[in-house]
C-alpha cells in the first residue's frame, strides 16, 4: 500500500497511543495497524428476516478484506424494516430511520478516521442510508447487495409478503377471514433477504448498480446463494484496491450516473420511493440536481423492459437469471451514459461490453418493451403545486383520470373505519391529510387505506390523494402520493373539505382542487398548523429539522 492513509496517525501522539492501546487489546498487530482500515457497515438484526443473515455476510467480506491486505472493522447501525418498525408512532420511524443510519455511519467512520467502507445493504431504508453516508463522507465506498428472500405458496399459488400486505387490507375491509390471512403469512417467506417483489429494496439495489456504486452484475441476487457470496468476496478485495486508487463516491455519483440510475428504475417500473432516496443522495453529495425533474424528463423516453411481480408475472429469480440490472442497462443501449465511472474502476460502458440478456422475454428490448407508457409520473397542479407522484405500473387498462368529490380524513384509522362501515362511495376521492414529513412526523404510509379500498371492491372506483408515502411493492387504483407542500404546514391538501371537487389526470400530469382562490384564502385565515405530537426523542429532532421532499427529506439544508 503506497498511499498515505488518513487512519495512520503520527507516532507518539495521543490519538495514536490511545488507539494503539485499544487495538492491541483487540489482538491487532503492528502490521495490522498500518493497513487500510475498512469499515464493514453491518445492519444485522434478529427483529427482521431481511437482516437476519448479515452477520454471515460480514464474516465473509471481512475475510476477503484481510486477504487483500486490509483491516476490516465491523460497525453496527440501526436496522429499520417497514413491516417491523411501522407500528410505532403512526409509522414515523420508517423513513426517518434512513437518516439515522446515515448519521450513525458518520459518527463511527468519520470519528475513527477510517479509510473506506463496505456497506452491507439490504432492506429499504438501509440502501439510501448507506448511499447518503457515502456521498457525505466521500471516502472509498462499495455497496454489497445482500439479496432477496425466497417466497412460498398458498393454495397452489405464489405467495409472498406483497400478497400478505394486500390481503391484510381485505381483512380490514371485512372481506377476508383473519384465519386465512394468518395461513398466508405463515407460508409467505421461506428464508432471509428482502421482499422478493420489485419493491423499494430490489428497486434500490438495481438503482445502486446503475449509479455505479456496487460491482457490476450483483443486483439483484438470491440471499445466501453461492452467487451472492462470490460477489461478497469480490467486494472485499475491490474495496482495498479502491482505497489505493483513491476512487471516491463523488467521482462516481455524477449527474450522468444519476441519469443512469433513474433510467434503471423506470425500465423496471420500480418503487416511487427511489425518487426521494436518490434526491437525498444527490443532496448529500453536494449536487445541484433535481432528481424529480430528471425522472419527469426521462419517463417519456425510457420504456418498461421488465415486469417483475407485482408489475407482471415474472419472478425476481427469473429477472436475476436473465441478467438483472446489467442486462437492463444493456437493453437500454444508447440511452445509457456510457462514460459514467463505477466502483469497478471501469466506466459503465466498459462494464456492459460483454453483458448478455439471458431471456429476452423477461428483460426485453426497447422495441419489444412491456410498455411505452411512463410507469411513474410526477403530477402538479393547484392541489400539489410542489408536485406529487403516481405509480402507474405497466397496465394499459387501468384508470388514468378521475374527477369527484373529496372525502377528507385526518388519520388513516378514520378512513379505515369509514371504509369498513361502507361510508366511502364509488366516484369519491379519498384525501388523507397529515401523513407527511412533519405532520406524521416521519411520513406515514397510505398503503393500508389503499389496500382496504381494494378489499372493499373500490380499488378502481375511488382515487386516493395523500401527503404520505406508499408501499414500494404496489399501488392499486389511482393513487396520488407524497403531495407537496404537505397538509400539516398549510399546503392546499390541508384545506380540503368534504365535497370539494378534485380532478386527477395522470396522462396530463395534473392534480387540481376545484375551489376558488377566494374560498381558499378564507380557509387559510383560519388554518392552524396540525402536526402530530412527536412524543419527543428522535421523532422530535426529525420533525424540527427535516427538509421538504424536493430536497430528499434530508436533515441538512442544501448548501
Rounded to a whole number, what is the largest CA-CA distance in the chain? 76
Which of 516, 443, 522 lies closest to 483 in space, CA to CA? 443
* Separate counts of helices (H) and strands (E) for the chain: 21, 14
Q: Where are the beta strands (DSSP E) in 235-332?
A: none
| Chain centre distance of CA 298 | 19
For 221, the grid coordinates are 441476487
The upper half-sphere exposure of residue 370, i.e. CA atoms within 13 Å in the direction of its Cβ, equals 25
Residue 258 CA to residue 260 CA, distance in Å, equals 5
Look up cell 387505506; give the residue.
Answer: 449
Question: Helix 255-267 to helix 291-298 angle, to the nearest 10 degrees?
Answer: 50
Q: Cα–Cα distance between 8 and 486 in angstroms, integer?
A: 48
463: left (phi over 0), alpha (psi -120 to 50) or beta: beta
CA atoms within a 13 Å half-sphere pointing along the CA-CB vector of 513: 26
Cβ(146)–Cβ(214) below 8 Å: no
What's the grid cell of residue 55?
452477520
Question: Would you state the cell numbers that stand for residue 244, as one nine-digit string?
Answer: 489505493
> Do 317 and 222 contact (CB within 8 A), yes or no?
yes
Choosing from 62, 96, 444, 471, which is the catalytic residue?
A: 471
Handedness of CA 438, 439, 440, 441 (dihedral sign): positive
471 part of the active site: yes
515: number of Cβ within 10 Å: 20
Q: Helix axis angle, 161-172 relative to 178-187, nearest 10°?
A: 170
| Alpha carbon of residue 148 to chain centroid | 14
CA neighbor of 330 nearest in space, from 358, 301, 298: 358
Residue 214 DSSP SS3: strand
How far is residue 129's CA from residue 82's CA, in Å, rounded to a whole number? 14
Q: 434: closest CA among 485, 385, 472, 480? A: 485
* Torsion of Cα atoms, 19 then 23 then 24 then 25, to 10°: 110
| Cis-peptide, bond into residue 513, ω within 30° of zero | no
d(CA 29, CA 13) in angstroms, rounded, equals 18
The residues annotated with a catalytic role in the active site are 471
Amino acid at each position: 500500500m503506497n498511499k498515505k492513509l488518513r487512519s495512520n496517525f503520527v507516532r507518539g501522539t495521543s490519538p495514536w497511543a490511545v488507539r494503539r492501546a485499544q487495538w492491541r487489546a483487540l489482538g491487532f498487530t503492528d502490521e495490522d495497524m498500518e493497513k487500510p482500515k475498512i469499515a464493514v457497515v453491518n445492519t444485522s438484526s434478529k427483529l427482521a428476516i431481511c437482516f437476519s443473515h448479515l452477520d454471515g455476510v460480514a464474516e465473509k467480506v471481512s475475510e476477503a478484506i484481510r486477504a487483500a491486505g486490509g483491516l476490516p472493522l465491523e460497525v453496527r447501525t440501526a436496522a429499520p424494516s417497514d413491516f417491523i418498525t411501522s407500528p410505532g408512532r403512526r409509522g414515523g420511524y420508517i423513513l426517518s430511520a434512513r437518516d439515522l443510519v446515515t448519521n450513525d455511519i458518520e459518527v463511527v467512520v468519520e470519528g475513527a478516521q477510517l479509510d473506506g467502507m463496505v456497506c452491507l445493504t439490504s432492506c429499504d431504508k438501509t440502501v439510501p442510508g448507506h448511499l447518503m453516508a457515502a456521498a457525505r463522507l466521500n471516502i472509498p465506498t462499495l455497496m454489497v447487495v445482500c439479496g432477496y428472500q425466497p417466497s412460498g405458496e398458498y393454495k397452489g399459488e405464489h405467495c409472498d409478503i406483497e400478497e400478505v400486505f394486500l390481503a391484510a387490507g381485505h381483512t380490514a375491509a371485512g372481506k377476508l377471514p383473519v384465519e386465512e390471512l394468518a395461513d398466508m403469512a405463515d407460508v409467505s417467506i421461506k428464508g432471509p433477504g428482502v421482499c422478493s417483489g420489485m419493491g423499494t429494496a430490489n428497486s434500490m439495489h438495481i438503482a445502486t448498480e446503475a449509479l455505479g456504486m456496487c460491482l457490476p452484475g450483483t443486483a439483484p441476487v438470491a440471499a445466501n446463494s453461492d452467487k451472492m457470496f462470490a460477489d461478497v468476496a469480490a467486494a472485499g478485495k475491490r474495496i482495498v484496491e479502491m482505497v489505493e486508487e483513491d476512487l471516491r463516491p463523488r467521482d462516481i455519483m455524477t449527474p450522468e450516473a444519476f441519469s443512469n440510475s433513474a433510467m434503471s428504475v423506470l425500465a423496471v417500473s420500480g418503487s416511487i420511493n427511489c425518487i426521494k432516496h436518490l434526491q437525498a443522495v444527490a443532496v448529500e453529495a453536494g449536487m445541484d440536481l433535481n432528481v424529480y425533474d430528471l425522472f419527469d424528463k426521462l419517463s417519456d423516453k425510457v420504456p418498461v423492459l421488465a415486469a417483475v411481480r407485482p408489475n407482471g408475472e415474472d419472478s425476481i429469480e427469473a429477472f436475476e437469471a436473465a441478467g438483472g440490472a446489467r442486462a437492463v442497462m444493456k437493453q437500454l443501449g444508447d440511452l445509457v451514459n456510457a462514460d459514467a465511472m463505477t466502483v469497478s474502476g471501469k466506466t459503465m460502458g466498459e462494464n456492459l461490453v460483454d453483458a448478455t440478456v439471458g431471456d429476452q422475454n423477461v428483460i426485453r428490448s426497447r422495441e419489444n418493451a412491456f410498455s411505452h407508457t411512463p410507469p411513474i409520473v410526477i403530477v402538479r397542479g393547484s392541489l400539489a403545486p410542489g408536485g406529487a407522484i403516481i405509480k402507474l405500473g405497466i397496465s394499459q387498462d387501468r384508470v388514468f383520470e378521475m374527477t369527484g368529490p373529496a372525502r377528507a380524513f385526518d388519520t388513516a384509522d378514520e378512513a379505515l373505519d369509514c371504509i369498513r362501515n361502507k361510508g366511502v362511495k364509488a366516484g369519491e376521492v379519498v384525501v388523507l391529510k397529515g401523513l407527511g414529513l412533519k405532520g406524521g412526523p416521519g411520513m406515514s404510509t397510505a398503503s393500508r387505506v389503499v389496500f382496504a379500498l381494494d378489499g372493499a371492491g373500490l380499488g378502481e372506483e375511488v382515487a386516493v390523494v395523500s401527503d404520505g408515502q406508499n408501499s414500494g411493492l404496489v399501488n392499486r387504483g389511482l393513487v396520488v402520493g407524497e403531495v407537496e407542500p404537505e397538509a400539516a404546514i398549510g399546503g392546499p391538501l390541508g384545506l380540503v373539505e368534504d365535497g370539494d371537487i378534485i380532478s386527477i389526470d395522470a396522462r396530463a400530469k395534473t392534480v387540481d382542487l376545484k375551489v376558488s382562490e377566494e374560498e381558499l384564502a378564507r380557509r387559510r385565515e383560519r388554518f392552524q398548523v396540525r402536526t402530530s405530537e412527536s412524543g419527543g426523542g428522535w421523532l422530535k429532532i426529525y420533525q424540527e429539522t427535516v427538509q421538504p421532499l424536493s430536497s430528499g427529506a434530508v436533515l441538512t439544508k442544501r448548501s
